[in-house]
Amino acid sequence: MKKVDNINIVSETPLPTPDEIRMELPVTAEIAENVWQFRQTVGSIVTGKDPRILMICGPCSIDSIPAAMEYAMHLRSLQEKVSDRMFLVMRAYFEKPRTTIGWKGLVYDPDLDRSFHIEKGLRLSRKLLLNLAEMGIPAATEFLEPIIPQYTADLISWASIGARTSESQTHRQMASGLSMPVGFKNSTDGSIGVAVDAIRTASARHSFLGVINDGRTGVFSTRGNPYCHLILRGGVHEPNYTSEYIAFSRELMIREKLFPSIVVDCSHANSQRNPLKQGEILHNVAEQILDGQDAIRGVMLESYMKTGRQNMDKGAIIPGLSITDPCLGWPETESLILETAEMLRHSPARPK
């Protein structure tokens, strides 16, 4: 008989179920309380009940656990200095969306050598999230593969759906059932309408197929996520963080009967992936807030221990220097956040 199934599959390797990984690396009562509190705070900010802004910052992608922990310790110290105006959330991105090919993130290739020890990557990712939550650091991530949330979502305080997947029905349905606030990025061509449509979709109820924590497939029925919001990350032809884009996005969301809640990504197409431009963008956004723009609820920075990036295929990896998109170094990040917090302390529109 002719072979008609799995013709292009080289091998199949079973993974531990989400339940097995969660039992091996469990959430304590203290960690659960921390994550719950983090999510409550983020939800209050994106719905305008808390006047502070989200500052979502950290490496483009997690590539080194020690470097990530070093960054987290710095971030924890900084939080105490700016908590009156900002709520700091650390980027803990384990999946890297690729336009073509390349390193796909810690979950898929934790040894950075194309060995693809995904089971190891899942454990490393969950261990880091447990450490962050125990330290009192909220974690942010982008969910790319719909199965991954079953392994890690209980430790995530804020999530994003990326520019390449905001139009995906699968990701919109997934977001409708996620337990944390979710931001949708505008598409890579700059279209804001796609992300606004995604917010409407994810706010509604859905039923869809997925993997249950015991490893079986099943039907998920969701309530809809009430904390979805827009992320402006720029487009192919121009950035979209300036006042006219914020005003347009705000009115579009109101017209679609959505609460106007916008997070500005200071990196990616808004900065043309030049990390040094992120400060200019952040100052522009802060000035808009000072001018009374109440739709801006947060900002995103790509930052790590050292400024720039490195090629992972050229010799030894320098810890704390990004192997994906170039990032702003920690000294520059700290100064920028402190300056912005001081600016926001003079905002009559957002008294603490």
pLDDT in tens, 205-217: 999 999 999 999 9
What's phi and psi for 9, nearest 5 deg?
-90, 120
74 CB-side CA count, 13 A? 21
Strands 228-232 and 217-221: unpaired
For residue 18, is pLDDT > 60?
yes
Q: What is the pLDDT of residue 348?
A: 67
**Letter string b/e over residues 27-45, b meaning 16 or more CB atoms within 10 A of that residue's CB:** beeebeebbeebbebbbbb
Q: What is the mean pLDDT of the chain?
A: 95
Structure tokens at 332: 């520059």
Q: What is the pLDDT of residue 97?
A: 77
Q: How far is CA 270 from CA 91, 284, 285, in A?
A: 18, 12, 12
Whole-number percent of the chain with pLDDT over 90: 90
Compute the distance between CA of residue 93 and CA of residue 62 in angstroms, rounded to an integer. Answer: 6
Compute the distance between CA of residue 107 and CA of residue 104 in angstroms, rounded to an integer. Answer: 8
Q: How far is CA 339 from CA 82, 84, 145, 342, in A?
A: 10, 13, 37, 5
Q: Where are the alpha helices (DSSP H) in the chain?
A: 18-24, 29-46, 65-82, 118-135, 149-152, 169-177, 193-202, 243-255, 268-271, 278-290, 330-344
Q: What is the pLDDT of residue 298?
A: 98
* Block residue for tokens 């008989």: 1
* Block residue for tokens 């009430």: 226
For residue 293, is pLDDT > 70?
yes
Q: Please check whether residue 202 is in contact with residue 228, taking contact to mean a CB–CB distance below 8 angstroms.
A: yes
Helix (H, G, I), strand (E, B), or coil: what is residue 77? helix
Q: 277: closest CA among 290, 263, 264, 288?
A: 264
Structure tokens at 41: 């705070």
Residue type, 160: S
pLDDT in tens, 19-48: 999 999 999 999 999 999 999 999 999 999
pLDDT in tens, 46-102: 999 999 999 999 999 999 999 999 999 999 999 999 999 999 999 999 998 776 678
pLDDT in tens, 180-198: 999 999 999 999 999 999 9
Structure tokens at 119: 């089971």
The residue ranges of every structural domain in the chain are: 54-344
Q: What is the pLDDT of residue 317?
A: 87
Q: Please check whether residue 59 is in contact with residue 302, taking contact to mean a CB–CB distance below 8 angstroms.
A: yes
For residue 142, is pLDDT > 60?
yes
Q: What is the pLDDT of residue 345?
A: 93
The mean pLDDT value for 282-290 works out to 97
Dihedral sign (CA 276, 185, 41, 68): negative
The contacts of residue 211 (CB under 8 Å, 6+ apart) are: 18, 147, 150, 217, 218
For residue 230, is pLDDT > 70?
yes
CATH number belonging to domain 54-344: 3.20.20.70
pLDDT band at 237 (very low <50, low <70, confident <90, very high): confident
Q: What is the pLDDT of residue 149?
A: 97
